[in-house]
Amino acid sequence: MAQSPIPASSPSRKPPSRKGLFLPYILLAVLVVAWSIGWFFIRHRAASEMDAWLTREQAAGRSWTCADRSITGYPFRIELRCAALAFSRSDSRFTLGPVTAVVQVYQPRQGILEVGGPFHVEQGDLVADATWTSLVGSFHGASDGFVRASLVANDAKGSVRGAEPDPIDFDTKHLEFHARPTPGRFATDGAVDTSLRVTGIRLPLADAALGNTDPADLAVDATVNRANALGTGTVAKELDDWRRAGGSLDLALLSLAKGERRLQAKGSLDLDAAHRPQGQLDLRAAGVEALVGQIMGQRFGAEKGALIGSLVGQLLGGRRNQASADAGVAAPANDALKALPPLRLADGRLMLGPFPIPNVQLPPLY
């Protein structure tokens, strides 16, 4: 019986290489090292740019002090922290509590600012102090300016001294301010749209004058023309440069509500040659008859002032009742906003229609 041949042994094969298993980790390590080098380069560049900016500001007469400055935020952010921030120049100075500015490495033109109190400012004879529970700002920049800037504060309160014999105390529940270049007008007119909303304002000095202790709500929508003429010089210089450039303020809405009293205004303001505000505001109001009588009574006497207030009330009420009668419905129980005579600012005086408001003079702003 023939024996089957013994098969030749097959050649031995090399085991598969395991280098491919480590390749993703090697690439990741290279990426981390490269990113870290890039982040520290950006951090160094940011510190150098800041030092150069501080030097330029110092040369221009503006001094900034960032106490215990640190730059952190690795790996994706650049965070500048100051334990306290101080600023001074020839006409003013202020101090702030802790300040943190944050910029994402991949969005260098967008930043967030968190500011802690207290805030102390001195300008001429005016001295003010303020605190808040939170204050946050944001800025979206562009190659030719900015896209949007915002500021939000909660529970701000403080006091201003030097403007009156007694301090002017104030507090607010919530404040928001937003600004953006006016579409189609920023490049030609330097126009910037602004919006301000303040809720829960308490101002004891105004409460005493108005005989109303209810908190107030304020809303302002306005366009600042020739805003590109404003810089970082002294207040007097910048306001005068703005005036000479033809700067003006277009009020699309100024709304103030305080208890049953409500006032809305729109118009345009600028500065005259004596640096005083001038212009005209169209007014709409409700529940202000007693206030008008009180103000006019200071010039014409209590009896005539009450008469003027009564005439204003009849004017507003008559328009409301006539409109209701024309529509064939009963007059509404609540007062709707009705037109008042325009408020004119001219030659340092305030005029409500043909009547000058007594004991009110508009001083130069600078």
| DSSP tag of 358 | T
For 175-214, the pLDDT digits (tens) are: 999 999 999 999 999 999 999 999 999 999 888 767 789 9
Portion of the chain with pLDDT greater than 70, in percent: 81
| Greater model confidence, 25 or 277 | 277
Predicted TM-score of the model (pTM): 0.81
Q: Can you give the pLDDT at residue 335?
A: 54
- Residue 106: Cβ within 10 Å count: 8
Residue 303 has pLDDT above 60, yes or no: no
What mean pLDDT is reported for the chain?
Answer: 86
In 51-90, which positions are buried (b, 16+ CB within 10 angstroms) versus exposed (e)? eeeeeeeeeeebeeebeeeebebeeeebebbbeebeeebe
For 90-105, the pLDDT digits (tens) are: 999 999 999 999 999 9
Q: Encode 229-291 in three state secondary structure.
A: HCCCCCHHHHHHHHHHCCCEEEEEEEEEEECCEEEEEEEEEEECCCCCEEEEEEEEEECCHHH
| Greater model confidence, 25 or 281 | 281
For 107-159, the pLDDT digits (tens) are: 999 999 999 999 999 998 999 999 999 999 999 998 888 999 999 999 999 99
For 9-54, the pLDDT digits (tens) are: 555 666 666 666 788 888 999 999 999 999 999 999 999 999 999 9
Q: Which two tokens stand for residue 108?
A: 């260098």
Burial class (CB within 10 angstroms; exposed 0-12, middle 13-18, buried 19+) of 17? exposed
For tokens 């006539």, name the residue: 322
Q: Which two tokens stand for residue 35?
A: 């990113």
Distance CA 277, CA 304 (A): 29
